[in-house]
Amino acid sequence: MNKTVREASKIGPCAEHTGISPSTAATSQNLAAAGVEPLTSTASSGLGRMVIAKSIGWTIYAAGVVIWLFGYLSAGHASAFDWDVATPSWISSFVPNLEAELGLALMFASMIPIYWRAGWKR
């Protein structure tokens, strides 16, 4: 019955099967008594890199939202692309200037680090 620390520390129906009550501090003696193996490094499994990439992606997304909102609510510079000609009016209303275009581009670019590894699991 080998479990990891993360599995043993879950509160709920699984906690009663670990031999450790949720109120008990998870000391090394308690974990060893319950047959729980310590967690291995998450970086070696790639999980650490994935968490870092997702964090970077969400940070880029948040920056894109702030820049887009600034561009949407301010006069800003002229657009690099003529949205009124190429798209319907309801789409072109979301990108009135260069700042809004940059924010929108950052929001789309943030999908790469957020969802990149999801395609590898198939």
How do the domains of the chain map onto residue ranges?
3-39, 43-121
pTM of full prediction above 0.85 = no
When pLDDT is averaged across residues 85-94 and rounded to a whole number, the result is 91
| Amino acid 43: pLDDT | 47
CB 113 within 8 A of CB 56: yes
| CA distances to 2, 27, 99, 113 from 5, in Å | 10, 10, 47, 28
Which CA distances in Å does 118 have to 62, 89, 114? 21, 34, 8
Helix, strand, or coil (residue 4): strand
- CB of 77 within 8 A of CB of 99? yes
